[in-house]
Each structure stands twice: as structure tokens, then as C-alpha cells.
Structure 1
Amino acid sequence: MSDISDKTTLRPFTPEFPEADVAELRRRIEATRFPEKETVSDQSQGTPLATLQELARYWATEYDFGRVGASLRSHPNFITEIDGLDIHFVHARSPHEDALPLIVTHGWPGSVVEQMKIVDPLINPTAHGGDASDAFHVVIPSMPGYGFSGKPTERGWDPERIARAWAELMRRLGYTRYAAQGGDWGAIVTDALALQAPEGLIGIHTNMAGIVPPEIEQAIATGQPLPAGTPELSQEEQRAVDQLRVMYSHAYYAYIMGDRPQSLAGFADSPVGLAAFMLDHDAASLDLITRAFAGEPTGLTRDDVLDNVTLFWLTNTGVSAARLYGENKLGFFSAKGVRLPTAVSVFPDEMYQAPRSWTEKAYPNLIHYNTLPRGGHFAAWEQPELFVNELRVGLRSLRK
């Protein structure tokens, strides 16, 4: 490494939190003032009171606040300044020198915590049921405004700018041939990266494919009928349309964060308030997390969920992360014209299941398409074994 006074160098970083901050977090959890119980017997009004009360009880009395830092410290962490902003990233190199470099991008309400379960199997496949030929060198950055990355102080950090920063990061790391992966915002950033096609990027994997014809997404987003002349939809295409109509009619969190992020200032004050908002991302995920806090074994544990919320609160990124929704100019789910080799994994509890017909049109260089038996929006976090296998199989042809 060069002179550490140069902020564009790769500076080693240790993720940790002052004990005083942790003590204050616990104090605020214990002092939470709860609202009354919801007036319905389902989750249609948002995160249930009983779930929040159990979350707060467990968080304050049983949760190990050292978990999240220890998990991140299990692999090398770095910070480097790109385009005027500090970018934090985990960089885990495989012991197999022929490993394929892979940059993995998280989403909201996620963080690099989401991907920690997949790192070891990706970098050391021979210890996790794979072959040395399946190995990856893994780079997992925190998006601007998230985790330990810097918080933008001006407008402009949209997915396309983030994608350019990722290309620069991989260049600084010396990777001249690499792939990219993403879900949620990570999928949009990865699509943008593929559209920019920087030197060295050879293909992508997505678990939230951008495949909807733009005119159809626009109609769904605005609550309008499908455009006149829309070809008759197949059963799978109609299912995706129906799922997206439901999603758009309930994704008020996205509209609030996109238009009025500063009005969410209470997230900096109340950890349980932050958790209540973060848990209510989509119906399937909320149901999964609610069952976890009710003591039912699911793909996510109570500790998993609280690792992520703890990172958000201790880094005070509830508002700064929200601003990405107002920066984005790309369609959330629409086809964007990606031409690079693309692998697509479809999880059954994702907000929508990408039909193969639309996927083949959206990604004409489709090298892998698979529907999985279980898993949802936070696939790497919830079903790491399935997710790792999808990366191994889906990107295998790029190693030739």
C-alpha cells in the first residue's frame, strides 16, 4: 500500500463500537414507549406490537451486542475514498489463486451483514461441499450512507454513480476480470454496472432480476391498466404483474424515503422505532421475521435480524440510507438493456417471480435461470447454501 495519508489508498479498518454507544443503545431500548396494539389480527397494519415487544425484550436482555462487529472482523475490512466519499468494504481472498473475483452489493433494509454467511463457502468451497474450481475472491462494499461508508453531503449518489465507484474499487484492488452480484438495491446497482460495462466486468448474477417491460412497470407503478396493445400475458407473466401491483400498493416505505427522508429523523433517536420500520419491507419477509421472534425456526434468526438493526442504529444510518430512494432514476423492476452474460435466480418468496419469458428478453445473454424451492427477498441471508450454489453454478461458464 502507498502513503496512508492518501485517502484513495486501501486503508485497513476495524469495525467496532464504543462501549458507551452500546450502553446508550441498550438504555434506549429499555426506555421504549410502545403504541397500543394494532386493531387487526393480521399484519396488514405493519409490524405487530407483540413482535416489537419481543424484539425489544430480547435485544435488551439476551442479544450479544458484540456479534455484528465480530462477524465483520472475521474477514479483512478496508476503507478507501472514491469520488470524494469514504467507501467501506469487506475483502476476503480465496486461498485458491484461480478464484473468480466477485463484487456483491446489498440492498435496503440490508447491509454487508446480509452477506456474511456466504463469504466462507465462496472463498473456501472445498470446506463447504464444493470444488476448488468454484472459488471466488469476494468484495462486499457498504453502499454510500450505509454502515461504515461515508454519508453523502450532497445530491447525486444514485445507483449509476455507485456502480462507477464499484468499478473503480475493483480496479484499485487489481482485479482485471471479475463478476458482480446483487439483490434489492444491489440488483439495480449491478444492472447499472453491467450497462456501463467497465473493463474487466465479464458478467453478473441477480436474485431480483430487472425484467418487466418498462411500459408495463410504469402502468403498475401508477395503478393504471396495462397499455393498449400489450401482448396477451402468459400465466407466469400475469402472476408477476399481480405480485407487483400488490407490492406497489403497499411499498409506502419507499415513497416516504424517496420524498421525505429527513422526516425520518426519529430513526436516529429510537432503536425500536428504526427496527419497526426496517422489518416491514415486504409481506413475506415480515411474516418470516415475525415467526422468528415468536420462537419458530426460520431461515433468519432473531440474532440475524438484530445484527442488522444494531449496525444501522450504532452507525446512525437510518436516514442517510433512506436517501438512496430519492436519488434513483432507474426503474426498480424494469428491463434496462443489459447485454453482458447474466445469471438469474428466482426465489419463491421474493416480491415477484421473474418469468423466464421476460427474463430472456431483458437479458439476451442469459447464461443461467433457475427457480428455487425456498427463500425470499434476503436470499443470501436466509438461504445461504442455496444462494452459494446458485453463484457457483450460475457463473461457472464465465471461468472458461
Structure 2
Amino acid sequence: MTTRVPLPTQATPTATGSAGTCAVEPFTVAVSQADLDDLRDRLARTRWADELPGAGWDYGTPVSYLRELCAYWADGFDWPAAQTRLNSWPQAVATVDGLRVHFLHVRSPEPDALPMILTHGWPGSVAEFLDVIGPLTDPRAHGGDPADAFHLVVPSLPGFGFSGPTTRRGVHGRVIADAFGRIMATLGYDRYVAQGGDIGALISALLAERDPAAVPAFHLNLLPVGPADPTNPFAGLDGEDLALAQRTFGFLAHDAGYWRIQETRPQTVTTGLLDSPAAQAAWIVEKFRAWTDCDGDVESAFTRDQLLTNISVYWFTATANSSARFYYENNGPGRAQELPRTDVPCGYAEFPGEHFRMPRAYAEGRLNVVSWQPMARGGHFAALQVPDLYVDEIRRFFRDYR
């Protein structure tokens, strides 16, 4: 089988400082025909699990639905078209002291645009942001105010997607935030804002904590915070805040098996994900359904092409294991990193379908939440599911920090 992560070939600027080097090279997504043929062959030879009558999604991704999705992946999904769309935006790979980071770098035609770094989480990818890059970088061309324009840097987290697998231990949130901050400096952005959800929310907050002079504000669609006393998470809460915390901790107690596996023994389960595209699809699509306000119908929120573009990024880059490894490095027993703490102004968009929603009281003392915006619809993958609402909210919040 061919190498799945193509390497860049042309050199561009390198920054050298006391912390080491940050070399940036152009990048193009290029999945070979051999890899496409291998995918179809593996899908055709899938050994399917049994399925209890009427079980639905109770045990996980139903085999009946998975077979339909994988049949479309093999015979209907157009990866070359998805690849062309990804390649329609300029991309690069930075190597920061040996840590490889792929990113989209899209400059606005507006000269006074505000630089912003957008960061995804698990099991997402840069493909989440394809529908929002145009409106954010060129609002004039999308019916918006040119004063709301952004220069965008959209990285693949180290170990995820086109960044390729990590090659050393200890790549946790603060290591990633440091690498991202140094990439922004190398690109010439000495002042920028940050936005993210899931792991991207953590990284965005850590960027502000790391260098508040460079990051005047950041925006999240997930709060990377927890209770002051983890042994008594509901202390001092009542009403809606108590109900929200109980719901989230119920999820952590009863529906976070993936989290426990990935923070303790990621390599055990991801051996199967790397060998079987059907297993990779089942592992990811279940989260898109569960973490979205879709009333149980995942394809009412996302098209099959959107789902399979994201799943294909994981498959073709062979990053199931290294992406899961982030949980081990950042959250695992004895390795859990301290949550961010910063006074930099923070905006928060509360999407109703988000599974990990925390009370505002949890943020007090850690984050300076100056804007708390309830959203009409949308879930964990907001930029992909409700791009218009997502864009409007980001434009609104950052108007005061240009």
C-alpha cells in the first residue's frame, strides 16, 4: 500500500528563535488511486457484526445503517471532488521542533482583516470549516460587511488528519498551543484571535493564556472548564445550571466509553480502526449523530458527503491512533493537564445539540466570559452543521476586538 500522508516538496520561510525553529512548506492533498482502490477492497471484504432486531442505536452504530453508508463510500462518494475542494484553499505544513502541523492559510482580500486561528476537535478535521472559510475571509462576496473580514489559519491538530501521526510522547494541549502560537508568529501575525470547539476550545483558551498580549480575545463553542471541586460537581448550583451539569455529568458517566478508552489504551481499539474502514466509519459517525440536535437522524444534519469527507480524512491519513492518543497525553490518569486560566475576554456560543455543556459558574475564576450567546440550533460540529449561524456569531463577537 502507498504512503498515505504526502510530504511537501517546496520550501518557504523558516523562523528561528530561542525556542527553536518553525519551518513552513506548501502542501497539497494527494490521495493515490492505489489508496482509493485499497479502500474499496477493504469495504468489500468487511466482516459485519451481528445485530439484534429493533436495537436501533442503543448498542452503537447500527449495522444496517453502517452497511448503507459504507456502500455509498465505496460506490457513490466522490473523494476526488472532496480533495479538489480541500485544495481550493492554500495549505502548508509547519514543522515546529519536529512537530508536524498542517494548516489552511487563507488571507482575506480586505487589507484590514483580523487574523484568526480556527481549531477543530475529535472526531473532526479541517473539513468542518469548508463552508465558513469564504464568508469569514471575504464577507463582501457573501452579502456581509467587509469590516468583518478575517485572515484565517485553520490547522489540523498534531496527530490528526494531514498533520500526520505524532512521533513522540507528551503532545498535550500546551505543547500544541505553543506550536500554534509560533506558527502564527512565523506567518507574521503578532496580534490575532482564536476560535474553537472541543479540543479546539481548549487550544484557543491556552493560546490566550500563553500570550495574552498577542490574543486580545477568543471565542468558544464548548467550555473547557470543570467544577471547582470535582468530587462535588453540583455544589452551589441550582435551577438550569444544576440541570445542565447533571446532564453533562450523566453523559460522562454513561456515554463516554470512547473517552475512557482513548485516554487509557488508545492503541488497542485503534488497531481495528486503522485496519477496517467500516470500523473507522462506525466509530466516527456515531458521535456525529449523538452530539447533534438531529432527533436521531444524522443525515438530517449532515449530508453523506460531509460525513464521509471527514471520515476519509482520518482513513487516508491513518491517524485514528495518533488522534486518539491526544486523550492519553492530555487527559489520562496521572497525565491530566491543568485547565486554562486567563483574563482575556472570552465569547461563548451555547449550541443546544452540544453534548458537553457546562454551567457559567464553572468558568468563573478561569475564563473571563464576557459574552454568553444561546444559539437557536446546532451541535458539537457547529461550523459544519449551521455555518450561517456560526459565521454570524463569530462576526458579532469579534467586532469589539479589531
TM-score normalised to the size of structure 1? 0.89
Structure 1: distance between partners of 2:198 and 2:337: 10
User: Where does structure 2 lack aligned partners over 5 or more consecutive residues?
Assistant: 1-9, 15-20
Deviation at 1:358, TM superposition (A): 4.3
Structure 1 residue aligned with 2:283, among 277, 291, 296? 277
The structural deviation recorded for 1:287 is 7.7
Q: How does 1:351-362 map to 2 (within 5 A)?
A: 351-359=355-363, 362=366
Q: How far is the alpha carbon of 1:169 from its aligned partner?
A: 0.5
C-alpha contact 1:85 1:150 (8 A) present in aligned 2: no
Distance change >3 Å, CA 334–CA 282, structure 1 → 2: farther
Residues 122 and 134 in structure 1, CA contact (< 8 A), matched pair in contact too: yes
| Corresponding position of 1:301 | 303
- What is the aligned partner in structure 1 of residue 262 from structure 2? 257
Q: d(CA) in 1 for partners of 2:245 and 2:338?
A: 12
1:337 aligns with 2:341: yes
Q: Are the counterparts in 1 of residues 292 and 301 from structure 2 also a CA contact under 8 Å?
A: no
How many residues matched? 383
Deviation track 1:264-284 (CA, whole Å, cap 9, x = no partner) reads 211111001111111223763
Residue in structure 2 matched with residue 242 of structure 1 by the alignment: 246
- Residue range with higher mean Cα deviation, 344-353 or 193-202: 193-202
TM-superposed deviation, 1:394: 1.1
Counterpart-to-counterpart distance in 1, 2:298 and 2:287 = 16
Structure 2 CA distance for aligned equivalents of residues 65 and 112 of structure 1: 15
- Cα distance in 1 for residues equivalent to 2:385 and 2:151: 22
Percent identical pairs in the alignment equals 37
Change (3 A) 1:178 1:332: farther
- Residues 126 and 360 of structure 1: CA distance in aligned 2, closer, same or farther (over 3 Å): farther
1:35 to 2:41 alignment: no
Is 2:208 aligned against 1:194?
Answer: yes
1:16-63 CA distance string (max 9 Å, x none): 101111111111112212111145534221111121011011111111
Secondary structure of the 2:43 match is: helix
Report the CA distance between 1:177 and its aligned residue. 1.0
1:266 to 261, 272, 276: 272
**In structure 1, what is the Cα distance between the partners aligned to 2:359 and 2:142?**
31
Residue 132 of structure 1, aligned match among 126, 146, 163: 146
Structure 1 counterpart of 2:227, one-letter code: P
Where 1:339 maps in the other structure, the secondary structure is strand
Correspondence 1:24 to 2:38? yes
Q: CA deviation at 1:240?
A: 1.8
Match of 1:15 among 3, 20, 29: 29
Report the secondary structure of 1:370's partner residue.
strand
Please state whether the residue corresponding to 2:154 is helix, strand or coil: strand
**Do 1:346 and 1:354's aligned partners in 2 also have CA atoms closer than 8 Å?**
no
Q: Mean alpha-carbon deviation: is it higher for 158-167 or for 194-203?
A: 194-203
Establish whether residue 77 from structure 1 lines up as the match of residue 91 from structure 2.
yes
Q: Which residue of 1 aligns with 2:3?
A: none
SS in 2 for 1:36: coil
1:388/1:5 CA distance change after superposition, 3 Å: closer
Residue deviations 1:299-346, cap 9 Å, x none?
A: 311100000111111111111111000011499999642210111100
Runs of 4+ in 1 over 4 A off after TM superposition: 2-7, 329-335, 356-362
8 Å contact from structure 1 (residues 38, 48) kept in 2: no
User: 367, 377, 392: which one pairs with 1:389?
Assistant: 392
Please name the residue that 2:17 is paired with: none
1:363 to 363, 367, 376: 367
User: What amino acid does structure 2 have at the position aligned with 1:266?
Assistant: G
1:197, distance to aligned residue in structure 2 (A): 2.1
Query: Which has the higher mean CA deviation after the structures are superposed, 64-73 or 33-42?
Result: 33-42
- Please state whether the residue corresponding to 1:341 is helix, strand or coil: strand
CA drift of 1:354 comes to 3.8
How far the C-alpha of 1:204 sits from its partner, in A, is: 0.6
Q: Quick check: 2:13–2:25 contact (8 Å CA) kept in 1?
A: no
* Alignment match, 2:76: 62
Counterpart among 189, 194, 197 of residue 175 in structure 1 = 189
Q: What's the CA shift for 1:288?
A: 3.8
Match of 1:377 among 376, 380, 393: 380
Distance 2:400 2:246 in 1: 34
| 1:203 is the counterpart of 2:217 | yes
Task: Name the aligned partner's letter for residue 277 of structure 2.
Answer: P
CA contact (8 A) 2:99 2:166 kept: yes
Partners of 2:358 and 2:233 lie apart in 1 by: 18
Preserved contact between residue 167 and residue 198 of structure 1 (Cα < 8 Å): no
Residue 141 of structure 1 aligns with which residue?
Answer: 155
Listed one character per residue, the Cα deviations across residues 157-197 of structure 1 (whole Å, up to 9, x for unaligned) are 10110000010000000011100111011111112222212
TM-score (norm. length: structure 2): 0.89
Change (3 A) 1:334 1:205: farther
Instruction: Sort the Cα spacing of 1:329 and 1:56 in 2 relative to 1 into closer, same or farther, 3 A.
Output: closer
Q: Tell me the alpha carbon deviations over residues 140-170 of structure 1, each in whole angstroms, 9 at most, x when there is no partner.
A: 0111111111422221110110000010000
Distance change in 2, residues 1:308/1:22 (3 Å): same
